[in-house]
Amino acid sequence: MLSVIQKWASFVRFSHTVFALPFALAAMLVAARDSRGWPGWKVFGLILAAMVCARTCAMAFNRIVDRKFDALNPRTQNRHLPAGTISMAGAIMLCILSGAGLMAVSCFLNALCFYLSPVALVTICFYSLTKRFTDYTHVFSASRWRWRRSGHGWR
């Protein structure tokens, strides 16, 4: 069981998700400063869950769309999909379930978060494709952060 969890965590680079958490939580604190202060443990947990779901969806999507390129590159040919250690169906299911998880969690934050969650999903997944047509992928990535505070009303 532990090896299965480790395999899936490695597939979506969960260690990078943990690294990104302080940035998401810092944004939460900045947004909370502008409204009521500390949003409470429930909202904290929901934001944590939303961030993990969003990043898992984005990483799974990235692995899916890059699998053919990864198979051709000696540095990446041993990744899970090209190597066959994770099935394509499993990867797609993880992507769908984590996207649905983000939408479900956002529903508990507030209506605006829920209504914007499909936009967030398209944006974070589209980022994986920008490297194919622009050298400014990171500019696109940074632009996503500008509108994330739009759902900071929380209740």
What is the full per-residue pLDDT of the chain (155 aa) written as tens digits? 888 899 898 888 888 888 888 888 888 888 887 666 788 899 899 999 999 999 999 999 999 999 999 999 999 999 999 999 999 999 999 999 999 999 999 999 999 999 999 999 998 888 888 887 877 777 766 665 555 545 544 44
CA gap 53, 121 in Å, rounded: 10
The H or E element containing residue 76 is none
CA gap 48, 15 in Å, rounded: 15
- Residue pair 120/53 in contact (Cβ under 8 Å)? The answer is no
Angle at 106 between CA 100 and CA 108, to 5 degrees: 115
Q: What is the pTM of this model?
A: 0.83
CA gap 129, 66 in Å, rounded: 9
